[in-house]
Amino acid sequence: MSGATSAPGAPAPSAPAAEPPGRWQRLPEWLRPRERERRGRGELRRVESTLLVLAFVGLAVATVNDVVRQAHVNERLTVDVLTWRAVAGRAYPGHAVQNVSVGQDLVHYTTRDVLCGNVWSAAPGTTPQLCLVMTGPAVHGRRAARGGYYLLPYFPDSRPYRYACFGTAVAEALCGAPTVPGAPDVPLTEGP
C-alpha cells in the first residue's frame, strides 16, 4: 500500500478553508495574496527584502542616534547643575539649594542652557534667583558660566523681571528691570 488512506469511519481530511470571495477583491490582482508563487526568478521578492532591510537599518540608526543624543543632553544638564552650585556656593556661602530649574534652547537646539535657583534657601521662586547662562563643552566636570542675571521673586523668567545682567547677558540685552535696592546683584562668571 503506497498511498495513505483514512480509517473507515474517520472524518476525511479537510481542505484549507477558502477565503471569503470578496475580501481581497478590492485590491488589484498584483497586490492580492497568492496561493503559490508565480514562476520566475523571484526578483520581486529580492527587491522587497532589500527594501525591508534598508528600512530596518534606517530605523535602527535613527534610534541609536536619538538615544546617544539624549544621553549627552542628560550628562550636560548634570554638569550644568554642578557648575551652578559651585558658582553660587562661592558667592553665597552656606548656600544649599536643591531646586535648580534648567531652561534649554529648544528652538535652535544649541548647548546654551540657563539655570536659575534661589539666592537664599527658601521655596523655589520666593526669593531673588540667580540665573547663569551656561555655554561650551564640559571640562573637568564643569561648564562655562559666561554670564547671567538675577530674577525678581514670584515672577516668571522673562526680560521685564530680570535685573543686574553680567557677562554675556549684557551683550544679549537679557535684562529689562532696574536693580532693586538691597537685592543681590553680585556679577558671577566662571570659565571651564
In Å, how far are 60, 61, 62, 76, 143 from 71, measured between CA atoms? 17, 15, 14, 9, 17
Look up the pTM and report it: 0.60
- Band (187; pLDDT cuts 50, 70, 90): low
Strand boundaries in the chain, DSSP class E: 101-104, 113-118, 129-139, 142-151, 162-167
Tens-digit pLDDT profile for residues 22-60: 677 887 877 777 777 667 666 677 788 888 899 999 999
95 or 133: whose pLDDT is higher?
133
- 81, exposed or middle or buried, with CB in 10 Å at 0-12, 13-18, 19+? middle
pLDDT, one tens digit per residue, over 108-160 is 677 788 888 887 777 777 788 888 888 888 888 888 888 888 888 888 888 88
pLDDT at 1: 46
Backbone angles phi, psi at 50, to 5 degrees: -65, -45
Q: Where are the alpha helices (DSSP H) in 92-153?
A: none
Average pLDDT, the chain: 76
pLDDT at position 8, please?
A: 59
